Amino acid sequence: MKRRLFFFFFLLLITLHAEAQDGYREQSLGSGAPKVAWSFAALDGAHAQQATVPGNVYTDLLQAQQIDDPFLADNAAKLHWVDTTTWLYTCRFTVDSLLLQKQHQAIVFEGLDTYCEVYLNDHLVHICDNMFRTYSFDLSAALLPGENVLRIKFYPAETIARKRQQYFEKANQYALPEGERVYLRKAQYQFGWDFAPRLLGVGVWRPVYLQAWDDFRLENLYVETKQIDSVAHMTLHFTANISVDSFERNTLLFVRRQGDASSIVPVRSFLLRLQKGRSDHTLDFNIQNPALWWPNEQGEQAMYELLWLDAKNKKQAYLGNLGHCNFGVRNVALVQQADSLQKGSSFYFVVNGKPIYMKGANYVPMDVFPSRVRSEDRRKLLLAAKEAHMSMIRIWGGGIYESDDFYSLCDSLGIMVWQDFMYACAMYPKMMKRPNLSYVDVFHSEEEYEWYDNFVRIEKHPCLALWCGNNEVEEGWWNWGWQRSLKYSAHDSAAVWQAYQERFHEAIPSFLAAQQSMVPYVSSSPQIGWGHAESLTQGDSHYWGVWWGMESYETYAQKVPRFASEFGMQSWPCYSSMQKCLPDTARSLLNKAFVFHQKHPTGQANLDGYLKRYQLSYTSFKDYLLATQILQADAMKTALEAQRKASPQCMGSLMWQLNDCWPGASWSLIDYYGEKKKAYYRAQECFVKKYQTPPR
C-alpha cells in the first residue's frame, strides 16, 4: 500500500513539473533576455549607451568607460554630476505571443531607484517614489503585438529630496535632523555614512518582468508556524486575485521535506470558494511529527515545501512570482521580563522553547550599488558567518531589505535575522495620511505599501527572528542634542515626537498585527542610549563608550549589557584590498586619496589615540593597516569574552559590523573584497569556545 501511495504522489509531482505553468506566463525584461534591448542616456541625450538591468547608472557609466571607478582613489569626489543629472532608461521589447493570449498582462518592477516616471509606448503608466517597493501595473490594454517601448525617467534623488526638505521646513517652520535624506524612501547609507561614500545613483535595481494569466491567480503565499505541541499547527496565508464573478475549486494541500520527493504527505483537502476581486485568506493545517528548523549549531535546518494542487486535474495552483512555497517549522519569542538583576529586564530569544545565546554581527549592504551583488557573493559572506559560529545577523535600518535569495540562504545556513525596517539615525516626516486612513488597510499609505511588499517576502522565512522599527532613532532623539541644536520649541518637539510615535509605536505594530505576524516586534534599537546606566540592565544595547567615547576597550568587561546589539572598533582593510583601491603613490597615511577612504569624522584621530594607548607601533603603511586590525581583534576578544561569560545575564553579542559596502576604514570583520580581518578569526575563536556561566 505504501508503495502505491509513493507512486501516486510521484506521478503528481511529474504532472506538477509538466503542467504548473498552463494558467500563467512570465517574460523577463532584464537586459540579457531575448527580444529585449536596454539603453540609457542623460535627458539631453549625452552619455547614451547600452544599459544593464538590473543595474545602476554608476555601474552603467563605468561599464561604458565614461567615468573612472568611484571606488578607486578619490574618484567618487569628482562624480557629483551623476547625482544631479536626470537619466532616461529605454527598453525596446517584443512580447511573447502566448503571453498576449492571456486575459491579463502586467509589468512588475521589483525595485526602482527611486523617483521616476514610467511610460509605455509614450503613455504615462505611473510615477514611482520608493526604492523599497515592488510596483505592479496592469498593461492589458496597452501592450502591442509588435515592438513596445518602455521609458523610465529618473529624476535626481538629491534634487527631489531637497525640494521636499524646503517645502517641509517652510510649512512647519522647523527642520528635521540629518538633512534631506529623510524625505525620500531610498537607502539611507547612499547619502553618505561613517563607513560609506555619498553615491546616490538611479536605476532599475531589481528584476523587471511581464506577467500574464487568465481568471485566477494566487499571490503572496507563505506559511507560518502558529504552535508546536505534539504536532505542528501551521497557517497558510495567501492573496487571491479573481477576475470572474465567483470561483470554486476542490483543492489539495501536500507538504514534503525539501529535497525528498518520497516524503510527500497530504495535509488538507478543501473547497476553495472565492468572489471577484482581490482578497486575503488563511488556511490552517497540521504536520505530524515535524522536523524542526533550528539556528546554526542548535540542530538541523529542516525545510518543507508546500504543494497546492487542483483536485480534478492535479495541476498546481499558481503561486505568483514567489516560486515554490518553502517553509520551516519553528517558533520564536523575545522574552523581555522584569527581573531582580539591578532592577532590570531581560532581553533574549527563545526558539522552539529553548533560550539561545545569539552570536553574530550587524549586516550592511554588500555594495554601495546593491544591484551588482551576486547570489554567490551573498553565499560566500553568509557561509563565512556560519563558519564563525554565528547564529544571528542584524539587517541594519540604514540599508535595504535584502533579496529573496539572501533570506533563503539564511534559512539553509541557520542564520537568524533581526530585521530593521529601513529607518536609521534621524527623525522622519509625519506619515502621509488620507481621510479615514486605517493602519490595518495597507493599500492607502506609500510607506505601508513598502512594509507590505517586504513583509510578504520576508515573514515566510524561518530565519526571521525579529522585526525592529528603526536603528537608533529613539536614542538619537533623547541623547544626541537634536532638539537643542535645531532650537526646537516645546511645540516643535511635541510635533516631531508625535510623528515618531505614530509610525513606530502605532502604525507598524498595528500593521504587523493586521497581517497576523508571529514574529516579535520592538520599536527601536536601542531604546536607551549607552550614556545611561539603564542601557546595561534593560533591553538591547549599542555600547559606544569604546570608540565614540574613547574609553579603553577593557571597559567592555565592566559594561556588559543584557543583549549587545552593537559594539565595535574600527580598522582598515587588508593590505591586498587597499592595493586594489589605491595606486602606489597614494599608499601613505597623509595622502588625500587614502584619507578619502576614512568616512568617520574623527576616525583617524580615534585610531591614532587607541594605537598609542595600546603601544601598537608601525613603520610602514602596510604595518599601520595591520596594527589597526590587531587593535580591533583585541577589542572584540575583550568584549566577546566578557559578554559570553556573563550569560545568562547577557544573551547576545552582535558586533558592528560583519561586512563593508566599499573599500574603506570601518568596523567590519570582512572587508569589501571578502578578505577576513584578524577580528573575524578572533571572534570565531570566542564564539566556538565554551565558557563557564552562572545558572539562570
Tell me the pLDDT tens digit for each residue of 87-122. Answer: 999 999 999 999 999 999 999 999 999 999 999 999
Are the CB atoms for 257 and 303 separated by under 8 Å?
yes
Q: Which CATH number covers residue 393?
A: 3.20.20.80
> CA 68, 70, 76, 79 torsion: positive or negative?
positive
Residue 260 forms part of a structural domain: yes
Report DSSP letters for 164-205, one per residue.
HHHHHHHHHSS--TTGGGGGSBS-GGGEEETTEEE----EE-
* Same domain assignment for residues 450 and 527: yes
* Same domain assignment for residues 490 and 413: yes
* Same domain assignment for residues 185 and 225: no
* Same domain assignment for residues 155 and 254: no
pLDDT at 6: 43
pLDDT at 380: 98
The tally of domains found in the chain comes to 3
Q: Does 344 or 433 have the greater pLDDT score?
A: 344
Tell me the pLDDT tens digit for each residue of 191-226. Answer: 999 999 999 999 999 999 999 988 878 888 899 999
Residue 618 forms part of a structural domain: no
Residue 623 forms part of a structural domain: no
Q: Which CATH number covers residue 112?
A: 2.60.120.260
Tell me the pLDDT band of 433, cut-offs 50, 70 and 90. low
- Stated as kind and residue range, the H or E segment containing 281 is strand 265-288
Tell me the pLDDT tens digit for each residue of 117-144. Answer: 999 999 999 999 999 999 999 998 899 9
Q: What is the Cα–Cα distance from 254 to 565, expressed in whole angstroms?
A: 40
* Same domain assignment for residues 85 and 150: yes
* Same domain assignment for residues 188 and 223: no
pLDDT at 4: 45
Domain final residue, candidates 210, 225, 243: 210
Q: What is the Cα–Cα distance from 622 to 92, expressed in whole angstroms?
A: 50
How many DSSP H helices and E strands does the chain contain? 16, 30
Domain final residue, candidates 210, 244, 268: 210
Residue 609 forms part of a structural domain: no
Q: What is the Cα–Cα distance from 65 to 130, expressed in whole angstroms?
A: 29
Q: What is the Cα–Cα distance from 407 to 413, expressed in whole angstroms?
A: 10
pLDDT at 22: 53
Residue keyed to cell 536607551: 528
Q: Does 691 or 238 have the greater pLDDT score?
A: 238
pLDDT at 312: 66
Residue 11 forms part of a structural domain: yes
Neighbours of 425 (CB within 10 A): 20
pLDDT at 252: 83
* Same domain assignment for residues 250 and 373: no
Q: What is the Cα–Cα distance from 428 to 355, expressed in whole angstroms?
A: 35
Q: Reduced to 3 states, what is the DSSP secondary structure of residue 265? A: strand
* Same domain assignment for residues 363 and 432: yes
* Same domain assignment for residues 295 and 323: yes
Q: How many residues does the chain have?
A: 696
Q: Give the cell for residue 65.
A: 568607460
Are the CB atoms for 131 and 139 separated by under 8 Å?
no
Closest residue by Cα to residue 51 from 156, 203, 206:
203
What is the extent of the structural domain holding 246?
2-20+216-327
Q: Which CATH number covers residue 241?
A: 2.60.40.10
Domain final residue, candidates 195, 210, 225: 210
Neighbours of 199 (CB within 10 A): 22
* Same domain assignment for residues 197 and 133: yes
Residue 237 forms part of a structural domain: yes
pLDDT at 442: 38
Tell me the pLDDT band of 246, cut-offs 50, 70 and 90. confident
Q: Give the cell for residue 450.
A: 513598502
Q: What is the Cα–Cα distance from 565 to 171, expressed in whole angstroms?
A: 38
Q: ∠398-403-406 over CA atoms, to 5°?
A: 100
- Give the 3-state secondary structure of 96-118: CHHHHCCCEEEEEECCEECEEEE
* Same domain assignment for residues 53 and 13: no
- Left, alpha or beta for 40 (phi > 0: left; psi -120 to 50: alpha)? beta
524: CB partners within 8 A, 6+ apart: 468, 469, 470, 471, 472, 473, 474, 475, 504
Residue 56 forms part of a structural domain: yes
* Same domain assignment for residues 300 and 421: no
Residue 578 forms part of a structural domain: no
pLDDT at 691: 75
